[in-house]
Structure 1
């Protein structure tokens, strides 16, 4: 059985590194060897053959005898030389013996099969990887409008007529986000893009009726939010643009027309932009996050406002 030692060593070498597929590879090897063995054709007696012995040296001669475990050659000088199977190089054993021929061919096919298994395994692993990144640039667009209304009023006590001038200035700002989304996986993927625009309520001067959905002045709140699905090719990139709802602040000033008493303090009310937060997710898991302030990037903040 010693002559089969090299087979076992080679097979074990082949199987090392992929223990989970060892049984499958061993079965594949044995099946291939059984299929290949019948196709072996030995050199004919009396034919000129060349071979290599175990140390790699070449020999040639006429094949005189081919046994189950040895061969006999006649050299050019007429000398008869016997070679045991174990004294031959692996490639020469496969040349003269069916068992060795089947082993070499089956091992070659098994190596190829192992390579395919490994390739498929890597492909499967890659399919389970979901990796994305985002980059965000922000730009705020601002505009303003002024409206003046005049109304003549008669004072009840004196009957004096005065012109009340109400000046209303409206300041509007909108936040534009340009977002680049990168799919870093080697397969197409669909991500979720979740975004938040934060606002801060301003109210001073004249008090206005507070709506139920408004928060106290100075308190941050989510002015606008949304969720988008984005599908990106393997190693691909997509760019999208998000625009916030307008943040509007109104400043109202009333001139009573009196030269002797100061006008009332102008009233200011509305919401101003307080920043933004963008999350890139896959199956609910946050892959990347970008924000206008590092405060908004904390897990505590995200849990509070999502």
Structure 2
């Protein structure tokens, strides 16, 4: 038995409760004065928070750029199809020829919206953990611990469960979420980054021509026939640019869909699932049996 346990064993039940209440008061003073959060917890976890935030912001930038690329592909194909029909060039129907690529681009852009939403939610949880997790869940811990010490014996089970829930929430939000975000980023860089770079390089190279072709605007000084001729020329340019896509563009889009699904959806959801089950295990694991004398004294 170490000296601390030996000293605690010499104290009466009332003295132990008084000592625990004093510790709760000191903890409450540290929480509500923000000294514990600003001077200890946040500086201690600052390296992890910074790495997690940087990784999530990088994922948000990449998702936004990929969404813009997907919308560019969809806009280009739609413009080519509509322009060919509008000027009466019925010999070529690019909409049917490029429909699989357009459908894949639409699905890719929808996935990027989900990816940006997922990353934004993780960034919100990171900021929430840094600012409000300790005051909010710390208050629940203090209240549950006070009820456990001072409340009736019949409340013990419920108060213990509440105390464990608040502790689990604090640990998951303040430590688990940034740790999971950093771990997902490191795993993605190690496993998925080469495939993502290769696919996006190929896709960016093929869409470079699309960025130089814009739909013409009608000038009030020119007639409708002149505008239609400009639109036909632009449509032909756009069709040539889209047609220059290699046959593996759909394959590249599928690769990017898989990469971003793993990086921004599956891996984060899997990490949150693991954190959820760790929290459930912490809340539901059996408590050690209390000494009979202490239980009797507390009940009295």
**Normalised by the size of structure 2, how large is the TM-score?**
0.26
Which structure is higher in RCO with an 8 Å CA cutoff and minimum separation 6?
A: 2
Q: Which has the higher helix share?
A: 2
**Normalised by the size of structure 1, how large is the TM-score?**
0.25
The structure having more radius of gyration, on CA atoms, is 1
